[in-house]
Chains A and B, each alone.
Chain A
Amino acid sequence: MSSAPLAEAVPYIIQVRNLRKVYHTGDVEVEALRGVDLSVKRSEFVAVVGPSGSGKSTLFHILGGLAPPTSGEVLIDGVDLRKMDESDRTEMRQRKVGFVFQKYNLLPTLTARDNILLAQSIAGTKTRPPGFDNVLNLLGITNRLDHKPRALSGGEQQRVAIARALVNQPAILLADEPTGNLDTANSNVVLDLLRDLNKRVGQTILMITHNPEAAAFADRIVFMRDGKIVQKGEGEIHGKPL
C-alpha cells in the first residue's frame, strides 16, 4: 500500500494504518499488533487505554522509533517509519519524539539540569529553545534543577523527565504510564501539567495508560484490546468518546 494518501492528510501528526507487529520468541510468533489504525491531530492529547497485553506498549515503542513495524503504514510528522533503518529511527528519537516513562528513567549520576542538557547534547543542540524557561516554570522545577534524582520526589523526577522530553521541541510527547509510580496527588499534578502543556504550548501528547482516571485528562481516548483499536461507540470513559 502506498503512503501517498496518508501523507496528504497534513493535519494529522501521527497516522497509522493497518499496523502489525510480530515478535519472534524462539520458534513462537507473537502477534502484538493486529492491524492498528490510528490518527492523531497536531496539538491533540490522546490517551491509549487498554489492559496488559493489549498491545499499547508495542504501539508506544513503534511510534517512538524504538522498534520497527512488521507491516503497515506509520507516518510521524510526515516521515514514513517504514523507510527508516535503525540509524534513522535513532535520529528521529533525538528530535521528533520525547519520551516520558513510568519509572522516570533519569540518569542517577547527573543532576536534573544535566539530565535535560544531556538530551540536548545527544540531539546536537546547544541553546535552550525559546520559551523553555516558561516550560520549566510551568513544571515547577526551576529550584530543583541542581539536585540529583535521588534527592527529588517521584513527582519532581517525573516533571524533570517531562522537561527532558520537551527540551528538543519534539513533534510528539509519548508518555508511557506517566503516573504509574505516583500517588494520587502527584499523579494529578503531572496529569494537570501534561494537559496544561497541551493547551498552552500546543504540545501533541499520546499517553499510554491502563488507568481510566488518568485517561480522562486527555481530549480523546483510544481503547486497545488484543492488538487492535476498539471501534468507536463500543463504550466511553468518564463521558469521553472512545
Chain B
Amino acid sequence: MINKLVIENLKYRWVRTLGSAMIVGILVASLITLIGLSRGMLEESASRAKGIGADIVLRKDTGATASLQTGQINEKFLKLVRAQPHVAQAVGVLGQTVEIITVMNGVNIPEFAKFSGGFKFLAGGPPVAPDDILVDEPYARQKDLHIGDTVNLVNHNWHLSGIIQSGMLARFVVRLDTLQNLTENTGRLNQIYVKLDDPSRTDAEVDILNKAFAGDLKAMSLPDFLAMFSINSIGPLKIFIKVITVMWVAVGFLVVFLSMYTAVVERTREIGILKALGAKPWMIVDLLMREAILLSIVGWLLGIGLALVATQAIVAIAPASLNVINVPDFWPWAALIALTGAICGAIYPGVKAARHDAIEALSYE
C-alpha cells in the first residue's frame, strides 16, 4: 500500500516528477558520456599504439604516465637502442597535440612502414613531399577530404597525400623531419618503439633496457604501456572525474532536496492525515525516501537512454574528433551516484515532514 501511495503521489504531480527525473537523468547522462568519452579516447589511443606491432615502448624516464609532451628524447638514443642485442628494429616517433586531444605523429615513413608492415591506404599513398600528410578514414569522412586537398593543422597547410585505415599510430601522420622543424624539436622524439628478435624475451629485455638507459629512458612492455591508457592511470583525469562526480552528486542532491521539500510543503495536510491515521514518523520519512529513490531510478533510466542517444549523436557528428563508447559497466556506479544524491536530498524534507504537528498539518490550507 505504501508503494502504491508513493507511485500515485509521483503520478499525481507528474510535471514535477518528470522535471526532477529529467534533471537527474541529464546529470547521469553527462557523467556516463564523460566516462564514455574519456575511455573512448584512451582506448582509441591504446588501439593505435597496439596497431604498431611493437614489443617494447621507450619513453623519457620521468615517472609520468601517458604524457603527451613532445621533444623529450634526444634522437641519438634511437641509434643506441638499435645497437642493443636482441633489438631487431626500433623506430622513433614525435607527437604533437592538435585539436584539443588528437595527436599528430611525425615518423620516418619508410622505417615505420618496415617496422609495422605499413599503413593500409584507402586512397592515395605515403608522404613524399615535406608537407604531405596522411589522415585516417574517419577524419577524412568527417571533414569530407579528398586526395590533394589542403589540410590546415598546427598553423600549417598540409597537402593530403593519403587516406589510411584507422587504428595505427595516429589520426594524422607526417614526415618526422617536417614535424620536428615545425615544432622546433629538431633532433628530438618522444617515443621509441622496439621490436625484438624474440618477443618471448620481452620482460627480460625491458629490464636490460631500463638498466642500460636508467635516468634517460624508461622501457615498458607493450601490455604495460597499453595499461596506462586508463582513467585510473592518468592522475589529473581521475581527479577531474572525481570532482565532476562530487559536483553532480551535489546537484542531484539539490534537485531532489528542492523537489521533496516542495512536496512536503505542498502535502502538509496529507502528512497530517497520515499522522491522524496513526502513521509513525519513520513511515513518513520512509514514504518520502521511497519517492526520492524511485525518482532517482527513473532519472537513472532516463540518463542511460540519453547517454546512449548522445553517444550515437557524437559518433555520427564527429567520428574523428570525439571517440565516445558505451560504458554499461559504469551504469551501476551512475545509479549509486544518483541514489546517493537522492537519499541525501530526501533526508531533511523527510525529517521535517515527520516532525510536523498533526493538528497544525491538518489545518494547513
Give me the interface of A with B, judged by CB distance under 8 Å: 61, 64, 66-67, 87, 90-95, 99, 101, 105-110, 114, 117-123, 164
Would you list which residues of chain B between 274 and 288 have a CB under 8 Å from chain A?
A: 274-280, 283
Residues A122 and B274 in contact in the complex (CB < 8 Å), given A66-B358, A101-B362: yes
Q: Given contacts A93-B275, A106-B273, A123-B277, list 15 more A-B pairs with CB under 8 A.
A: A64-B276, A66-B275, A66-B276, A66-B358, A87-B280, A91-B278, A92-B278, A93-B276, A105-B269, A110-B8, A118-B5, A118-B277, A119-B277, A122-B277, A122-B279
Check if B12 sits within 8 Å of A93, measured CB to CB. no
Check if A114 sits within 8 Å of B12, measured CB to CB. no
Dominant SS among interface residues on chain B:
helix
Check if A109 sits within 8 Å of B278, measured CB to CB. no
B9: min CB distance to chain A, Å? 5
Q: Contact check: which of A93, A101, A107, A114 meets B278 at CB < 8 Å?
A: A93
A146: min CB distance to chain B, Å? 13
In the complex, what distance in Å separates the CA atom of A67 from the CA atom of B121?
86
Check if B5 sits within 8 Å of A105, measured CB to CB. no
**What residue of chain A has the Cβ atom nearest to residue B365's Cβ?**
A103
In the complex, what distance in Å separates the CA atom of A92 from the CA atom of B275?
11
By a CB distance below 8 angstroms, the chain A residues around B5 are: 107, 109-110, 114, 118
Mark B269-309 against chain A: 1 for CB-CB distance below 8 A, else 0.
Answer: 11011111111100100000000000000000000000000
Check if A93 sits within 8 Å of B277, measured CB to CB. yes
By a CB distance below 8 angstroms, the chain B residues around A92 are: 278
User: Is B228 an interface residue, CB under 8 A from the partner?
Assistant: no
Dominant SS among interface residues on chain A:
helix
Between B9, B276, B283, the greatest number of chain A beta carbons within 10 A of the residue's beta carbon is seen for B276
- Please tell me the size bucket of the interface on B: 20 to 34
In the complex, what distance in Å separates the CA atom of A107 from the CA atom of B12?
11
Check if B273 sits within 8 Å of A109, measured CB to CB. no
In the complex, what distance in Å separates the CA atom of A122 from the CA atom of B1?
9
User: Is B11 an interface residue, CB under 8 A from the partner?
Assistant: yes
**What residue of chain A has the Cβ atom nearest to residue B12's Cβ?**
A109
In the complex, what distance in Å separates the CA atom of A1 from the CA atom of B97?
90
B281: min CB distance to chain A, Å? 8
Check if B277 sits within 8 Å of A67, measured CB to CB. no
B283: min CB distance to chain A, Å? 7
Check if B2 sits within 8 Å of A121, measured CB to CB. yes
By a CB distance below 8 angstroms, the chain B residues around A106 are: 273
Q: Contact check: which of B11, B277, B359 meets A94 at CB < 8 Å?
A: B277
Check if B359 sits within 8 Å of A66, measured CB to CB. yes
In the complex, what distance in Å separates the CA atom of A101 from the CA atom of B358?
13
Residues A108 and B283 in contact in the complex (CB < 8 Å), given A66-B276, A121-B1, A122-B277: no
Check if B276 sits within 8 Å of A108, measured CB to CB. no
6 contacts between A and B (CB under 8 A): A66-B275, A99-B277, A107-B273, A109-B8, A114-B8, A119-B277
By a CB distance below 8 angstroms, the chain B residues around A87 are: 280
B221: min CB distance to chain A, Å? 63
B1: min CB distance to chain A, Å? 4
By a CB distance below 8 angstroms, the chain A residues around B269 are: 105
Residues A109 and B283 in contact in the complex (CB < 8 Å), given A93-B277, A121-B1: no
User: Is B4 an interface residue, CB under 8 A from the partner?
Assistant: yes
In the complex, what distance in Å separates the CA atom of A66 from the CA atom of B274?
12
B287: min CB distance to chain A, Å? 11
Check if A118 sits within 8 Å of B1, measured CB to CB. yes
By a CB distance below 8 angstroms, the chain A residues around B12 are: 108-109
Q: Which 10 A-B pairs have the closest CB atoms?
A: A94-B278, A121-B1, A93-B278, A109-B8, A109-B12, A105-B273, A122-B277, A66-B358, A119-B277, A122-B278
In the complex, what distance in Å separates the CA atom of A143 from the CA atom of B288?
32
In the complex, what distance in Å separates the CA atom of A202 from the CA atom of B337?
56
By a CB distance below 8 angstroms, the chain B residues around A93 are: 275-278
In the complex, what distance in Å separates the CA atom of A164 from the CA atom of B278?
12
